[in-house]
Structure 1
């Protein structure tokens, strides 16, 4: 079975809010330059019948050995022919995605960590 990188609506909203709240000062201290995006994950987004994919910026705040660590995220959703995000909410809870479709994907690895050090864009 192929691993999917679906995340919950709650996680996506938290990461996006963290990015918006901290973005002005965040970029002064961190050096995210790019993201590596596995093609299989883009195919999943497009495979939902989307005409495009939309990427949202986010940041995951976690603790490693008692220290705050921030991991940049690029979250993907399908976009329909009307330009709307293809996010389907549960009928029972507006904060939860419907398990039958309309997913949000986190499939990215930020650079630095995974980078092409020889790329002219990474200088």
Structure 2
């Protein structure tokens, strides 16, 4: 892994994350699904309710040297006009080191990355179209 700053990022907690009550999760996903359409959705973008990543991809990222957890980034794929496709939300996943730094290729002074270390994951399966119709997180009242 490329060497990054040795001081932890302010406020970074390598142990962040905790289980939550299933009823809370159901309510939060329902709240999300009931939000008014965004500007992007009004112009044709599809609202994504969930993203699925395989264990293989997540394991490959987690097994990188120095990785203590995962960070997920939101993205928006804006196809070229000639592709005749609507923008699509993306969820990207990267490893994070003990100081809170992303384990990703970093730019050097020129255009090429200073290092090839790091995996940026994408290619998730999205819901909708591939959803669990029995999940209370998808159908919660």
* Bin of the TM-score, shorter chain as denominator length: 0.5 to 0.7
Greater percentage in helix: 1
Which residue is equivalent to 1:75? 92
Q: In the TM superposition, what whole-angstrom CA distance separates every residue of 1:58-106 from its partner, at most 9, and x where no partner exists?
A: 121236995332222111111000011112325463564733x122111
Q: Which runs of 5+ in 1 are unaligned?
A: 1-23
Which residue is equivalent to 2:102? 85
Q: Which runs of 5+ in 2 are unaligned?
A: 1-37
| Aligned mates of 1:89, 1:54 — CA distance in 2 | 16
Q: 1:55 aligns with which of 72, 92, 98?
A: 72
Q: What TM-score, normalized to structure 2?
A: 0.58
| Aligned mates of 2:80, 2:131 — CA distance in 1 | 23
| Bigger Rg over Cα | 2
Greater percentage in strand: 1
Q: What TM-score, normalized to structure 1?
A: 0.65
For this pair of structures, how many residues does the alignment match? 100
SS in 2 for 1:73: strand
| Aligned mates of 2:40, 2:107 — CA distance in 1 | 33
RMSD (Å) for aligned C-alpha atoms: 2.8
